[in-house]
Structure 1
């Protein structure tokens, strides 16, 4: 059974960047595509006439996006859903029937129909499938797939996903472990060279455990290990500048977006150095 990609569309340049990325991926992997347009009813009158007009406008937008998908050469199976409702709720429900949710990288917007930007962060926290957020960026030559390693269950899922991505694309997997010494005011002098070395040894062990088994599963996969003394978000953003993809893990689903998505995933989605996929724990 083929995969199914759900792509959010609203006619903007940002959503068309995400649409092009999603269609290219669907072509490579033989996936089915469903386009989703949500007309935000937060500021609409509850009268039947207004809601009917909003639904009609949503359907017209969706038809235009399906036509655009065909015009740029996508020949696979593409369907569409047009709804009027709360964007995050509608996206969450639609994500139940998808293997990957793909969104554009808008800045926050309160315009009807736009559910990207800060809403993309909320979608990543509540979706039932992995979420890809796609900015308009350039890929550097020989770019790889970047993934963060921290030993958590969420990280393990992200590593497995990133390794499959890198293997499929024929690019290196760049495994990043970021660490920082405890910053205790007045006790900096206790951080001897030996203690720093021991922290680095622990980091090397953690990254070795994180990528264990990948060489056997993907014999041709090149794995680059990077141990960085920096805050995790900063380390991942720097490593992913111009990369093909950055994969991060979330702890699960829930309404407290920053807490349950995770501060690292949240921070990466605010920076978006390249296309980012947030995997589900």
Structure 2
């Protein structure tokens, strides 16, 4: 069955960047597209008249974005949904019927002092399908490639599988990154001998080999670049993103409070968003 992409639209520059990215990808993969506009009812009167007016405005916005999509030359199946409600809840529900959810990154949605960060971070944490967050400002002449972190966790394994399929589909290199740091205890740094550091490097070699095992046989034409970096994970991924146009991250899970937490690495990369970043679905 053909894939279905849902693209969040609101007419902004950020939304248009996501729409352009999603339409291009859908054209390549043969996926159908559903545009989704949610009129935020958080500050609206609950009266029937106000809600009706908000619904009409949402439908007008959706119609304008659908027209933009058609004028762009997209020839695939395209539908639209306009609703009034809470954006995160509505988008989470919509993600149940999608294979990929595509959102623009709104820098204005960063909440000062908020532990949860941007709206995209929240949605990525609760979505039922992978979520692609597309920055409005793209890199100048980006190098094609897909970056993924390796750390042995279940979420990383899911991310690696998605990233390998993505890189193979696009015919671009897969850059697998394993970041490590020696435990730093103030005042006890002298206990780290060269032998102990070397043992950590050997453990890193083993970890990245295990993390990418089987990919070469599954995708014989895929170029896999394995990088072991002595650096904090977020910094390592951001550095690797200088040689790629996509990062794939793993979501930690959806149970209890965890459903609102992606993990510090995914959260940190999304807050910076150096390039299009895809967060894979938690099991």
Q: Does 1:108 align with 2:98?
A: no
Alpha-carbon deviation of 1:139? 5.8
> How big is the shift at 1:257?
6.4
Question: Does structure 1 residue 72 correspond to structure 2 residue 97?
Answer: no
Query: Separation in 1 of the partners of 2:69 and 2:237?
Result: 32
CA shift, 1:256, in A, is: 3.7
Give the root-mean-square deviation of aligned CA atoms: 1.6
What is the match of residue 114 of structure 1?
none
Q: Any conservation in 1 of the 2:146–2:166 contact (CA below 8 Å)?
A: yes
Corresponding residue number in structure 2 for 1:93: 93
The gaps in structure 1 that reach 5 residues or longer are 111-116
Cα distance between partner residues in 2 of 1:259 and 1:80: 27
Partner of 1:125: 125
Partner residue, 1:31: 31
Q: How many residues align?
A: 275
Q: Work out whether residues 253 and 259 of structure 2, in 8 Å CA contact, stay in contact via their aligned partners in 1.
A: no
> 2:150 — aligned with what?
149
Alpha-carbon separation, structure 2, partners of 1:130 and 1:155: 13
1:48 is aligned to 48
Using the alignment, how far apart are the partners of 1:164 and 1:100 within structure 2?
14
User: TM-score, structure 2 length as denominator?
Assistant: 0.94
Return the alpha-carbon distance in structure 1 between the equivalents of residues 154 and 140 of structure 2. Answer: 29
1:75-114, Cα deviation, whole Å (9 max, x unpaired):
100000000000000000000000000000111349xxxx
CA distance in 2, matches of 1:123, 1:44: 22
Q: Distance in 1 between matches of 2:182 and 2:245?
A: 30
Partner of 1:168: 169
Return closer, same or farther for 1:240/1:39 CA change in 2, 3 Å cut-off: same
Q: Structure 2 unaligned runs (5+)?
A: 111-116
Q: Matches of 1:3 and 1:158 in 2, distance apart? A: 19
* Alpha-carbon contact 1:178-1:227 (below 8 Å) kept: yes
Q: 1: CA distance between counterparts of 2:47 and 2:38?
A: 18
Partners of 2:259 and 2:196 lie apart in 1 by: 32
Equivalent residue of 1:240, what SS?
Answer: helix
In 2, the alpha carbon distance for the partners of 1:231 and 1:142 equals 23
TM-score, length-normalised on structure 1?
Answer: 0.94
C-alpha distance in structure 2 between counterparts of 1:134 and 1:109, whole Å: 14
Give the distance between the partners of 2:264 and 2:18, measured in 1 at CA: 24
8 Å CA contact retained: 2:142, 2:245: no
Instruction: State the distance in 2 between where 1:242 and 1:9 align.
Output: 29
Superposed CA offset, 1:212-253 (max 9, x none): 000101111111011111110111011112522100101122
CA distance in 1, matches of 2:151, 2:264: 13
